[in-house]
A and B are shown apart, each in its own frame.
Chain A
Amino acid sequence: MPREIAVGDALVPGMLLLFVAMLAVLWLLDWAAGRFGLYRHVWHPPLFRVAVFVALFGGLGLLLL
C-alpha cells in the first residue's frame, strides 16, 4: 500500500484512508450488533467497540503496510 495517495491532487496518508474505511466498517458491525441484540453478550459494549476498532485498524494496517 502506498504511503500517500493523491486525492484530487492533495496527498493524503494511506493510513488516514484506512482509518476512515475502518470507521465505516465499525459502523456497519455496530449497526448489525444492535439490530440483532448481540451486545447483550458483552460486558462493556463501548470498550468492546473500541477494541474491535483497534483490532481492525491495527490488523489491516500491519497487513497492508
Chain B
Amino acid sequence: MADTAALSPSPSLRATALQVLREDAAAWLFVLRAAIALYVTGWLAMRFALPQPSTAMLTVVIVMNRQTGLVLAKSFYRAIGTFAGAAVALLMLSLFPQERVLLLLALASWVGLCAGGALLYRNFTSYGFVLAGYTASIVALPSIDAPLGAFDAAVARISEVMLGILVAGVVSDTVFPSRMRDALRRAAYEQFSHFMEFVRGSTGGTIAREAMENAHLRFVREAIALEDLRSAVIFEDADARARSGRLQLFNQRFMAASTSFQSLHHLINRLLRGGRESTARVLISLYRPIAEALQLPAEAGSTARAMLPPLTAARQRIADGAAPKRAQLGDEQHLDFDTGAALLLRFADEVIAYVDIAASLQAPRLVAGSVEKARFARSNDFFGAALAASHTTLTMLALGIFWIYSAWPSGSSAMLIAAIFCALFAAAPNPVRQAGQSMIGWTFGIAASFAVEFFALSQVDGYGLLIAVTLPLFLLAPYLLTRPTLISYGVGYGMGLIYNLALTNAMHYDPVRFLNDAFAQLVGLGCAVVAFAVAPPVAATRWFQRRQIARLRGQVALAAEAPLAGLAYRFESVNRDLLQQIVARTPPGSDASRALLAWALAVHETGRALIELRQAHAADRLQPPGDTRVSAAIDRLARFYERPDARGYLAARDALAAAIAAAQECLPAQPTAGATLTQLHLLRMALLDGESVIAEYMPRAIATASPLENDHAA
C-alpha cells in the first residue's frame, strides 16, 4: 500500500480541484433541497391558513439532513413523538387547567421522563422521545392563559408539524436524493472483506494482544455502524427493507465468528507462552486449510458464493485431520489439543454460516422463505436514564419557579426554549459545548431575523419577494450543517432565524415584542447551558463510565444465568452496544480506553465460552457429582466478574479445577462429556492468562509464573 502511494505521482491540482468541487456539489445540493423544502412548506402552510406557518418551517429546518434515509427516519419518529407529546399536553391541560404549580410539575416530569427515554435508546427512537418531550411544552405553555383553546392549539401544531415532515420527506426523497443504500452496501462489503483479510493474514497463528484489541474495536465499530445504517436505510429503500432480516443475521454471524476467531488466537498465544509450542504448532497447521480456502481474493469481483465450496472442503479437512494429528501428541497435551480443535471447528462452522448469508445477500433476487430471526439487542441502563430524567425535571422546575415568582410576561418563551434544548442535548456526549455553540448560532439567527423582518420584509409584498429577501440569510443554515465542526452553530442559527421571523399570513411588526421574546429565548438557552455545566448530564460523567464498565463485566453473569434460547446473539450484540457506548465517551488511546478494551476482550471470551459450556452441558449433563461442580464453577466465574477481587479469583479458579477433574473422571464412562470438558478447559486457560486484565487479581506466585504451569495441579 505504502509502496504504491510512493510510486504514483502526486495528484495534480486539477484533480484536487475536481475533488473539492464534487464534495462541495453534494453540500450545495443539500442546501438546495433544504431551501426548496422550506419555502414549499411555508407557501403551503400559508395557503392552508394554518395559524403559525413558522412552526411548519421550523420543522423542516430541524428534520433536514443530508442523507435521505435519515430525513425519513427522523420524520417517522418525529411524527410519533409529536402525537404523543400533543396528547400528553392535552391531558395535562385538562387535568390542571387552573393550577399552574401542578401543571408545571406535571410538565417538568414529562420532559424529564422523555429525556430519560432519550438516553435509554439510541438513534432515532431517542429522537422520538426528545420530540415527545418538547412538543408537550410547545402545546401546553402558550395555552396556559387560554386553556379553552388548547385543543385547537394541539390540532394546529400537529397539522403544521406533519406538513413540514411530509414536504421535507418528499423533497429530500425526490430532488437529487443522496442515498444511504450505497453506504450500507459499502459498509457490509467492507466488514466482510476486512474480516476475511484479517483471518487470511493470520496464518502464522500469532497476533499480538494489542493488534487483537485494535481489531476487536474495529469489528465492534463495524458491527454497530452496519446496524445503525440498516435502521435508517429501511426507511428509504424498499429493497433494503425486504432484506433487513437477512442483514441482521449477517451482522450477528459476523459477531459470532469474530469472537470465536479471537478465542482461538488467544488460546494459541497462551499455548506458545506456556511452553507448549508443539501443541500450538499442530493447531496452527490444522488451521491452515481455512486460511488457504480464503486466499480467493474477495475484492476481485468474486462473489461470496464462490468461497463456499473451498470453505466446506477445508472444514472437512480439519475434521479429518484432527485424529491423526492428535495421535502424534503426548497424552498430557490431548486436553489442550481437543480444546483448540473444538474451537477451530466452531470457528469454521461460523465462517461458513457467515459466508453463506453474505452470498444470499449478494444474490440479485431474494430467495423465497424466511430467515432466522436475529435482533440486534441493545444495552439499556435504567438507573442512568432515571438520573437523566431527574436532572432535566429539576432544570425545568427551577425555571418554572422563577417564572411564577417573577411574573415575567415572556417566561413561557424562556421555558419553552430551555425545554427544547435540554431535551435536544440530553444524550449528547458534550452537551455544554453543543448548547453553547447553539446559543451563539441562535444569537446570530436573532440578529439576522431582526434585520430581515424590520428592514426588508416590511418593504416587500408577496411570497416571491419574501423568498428573495429571506433566502440569502437562510442559505447559511443548511450550509453550516454540512460542516461537521459547525453543526451546532447551524442548528442554532437556522432555528433562531426561522423561529424569530414568525412568518404568518398577516405579519405583525412589533419590535418591542420581538426584542422581549428574543431576550427570553436567550435566557432560556443560557439556562440550558448553565444546567448542563453545573450538573453535567450523567452520560458524560466518569461515574457513569465506571458504571458502564461494571455493566460490561456483568455481561458474564448474563451469559452464566440468562435463559439459553437466543442467548448467544443477545450476548454478542448487547456486549458490542455497551462497548460502543463507552468507547464513544472515552478519548482514544487514553488509559481508560485501554483498560476498557482489555476488559471487553476478557468479558467477551469468557462470556462466549460460558454460553457454549452451558449449551454443551444442557445437551449432555455430567453424572453426579460432576453436574453440580460445573454449575458451581459457572456461578463462581459470574460472581468473580461481577465483583473482581483476589478471593473471588481463587474461588473461581478452584471451582473450575474441581469441575475439570470431575469431567475427566466422567470421561471413560461418558465419552460425550468431551465437549463440556473442552469448554471448561478453555475457561480455565482464559482465567490463568497472565496477559489478560484479570491478571492483577491473581496471587503473585501464579501471575509471575507462566500461565499454564499450574494447569493440571488440581
| Chain A residues close to B by CB (< 8 Å) | 10, 30-31, 33-35, 37, 39, 44-47, 49-50
Contact = CB atoms under 8 A, between A and B. Distances in A.
Given A37-B366, A46-B177, A30 B170 contact: no
A33 B364 CA distance: 15
Nearest to A45: B238
B93 to A, nearest CB: 16
Interface residues of B, number: 16
Contact of A34 (B151, B170, B174, B242): B242
Please provide the 5 A-B residue pairs with the shortest distance between their CB atoms, ordered closest to farther. A34-B238, A46-B173, A34-B242, A35-B242, A46-B174
A55 B364 CA distance: 30
A37 B365 contact: yes
B621 interface: no
Q: Say what secondary structure dominates the interface of chain B.
A: helix
B238 A39 contact: yes
24 contacts: A10-B151, A10-B155, A30-B238, A31-B238, A31-B241, A33-B238, A34-B237, A34-B241, A34-B242, A35-B238, A35-B366, A37-B239, A37-B242, A37-B364, A37-B366, A39-B238, A45-B238, A46-B68, A46-B173, A46-B177, A49-B173, A50-B170, A50-B173, A50-B174
Contacts of B174: 44, 46-47, 50
Contacts, number: 34
Contacts of B177: 46
Contacts of A35: 238, 242, 366
A49 B173 CA distance: 10
Interface in B426-474: none
A46 B428 CA distance: 33
Contacts of A45: 238
Interface in B231-258: 237-242
Contacts of A33: 238
A56 to B, nearest CB: 15
Contacts of A39: 238-239
Contacts of A37: 239, 242, 364-366
A50 B364 CA distance: 25
A44 B174 CA distance: 8
Contacts of A30: 238
A50 B173 CA distance: 9
Contacts of B239: 34, 37, 39
B497 to A, nearest CB: 29
Contacts of A46: 68, 173-174, 177
A47 B173 CA distance: 8
Contacts of A50: 170, 173-174
A64 to B, nearest CB: 21
B489 to A, nearest CB: 31
Contacts of A47: 174
Interface in B213-241: 237-241
Nearest to A51: B174
A10 B364 CA distance: 49
A37 to B, nearest CB: 6
A47 B241 CA distance: 18
Contacts of B242: 31, 34-35, 37
A39 B236 CA distance: 13
Contacts of B173: 46, 49-50
A14 to B, nearest CB: 16
B154 to A, nearest CB: 11
B49 to A, nearest CB: 13
A34 to B, nearest CB: 3
Nearest to B236: A46
B341 to A, nearest CB: 43
Contacts of A44: 174
B73 to A, nearest CB: 15
A45 B365 CA distance: 18
A49 B239 CA distance: 14
A10 B151 CA distance: 10
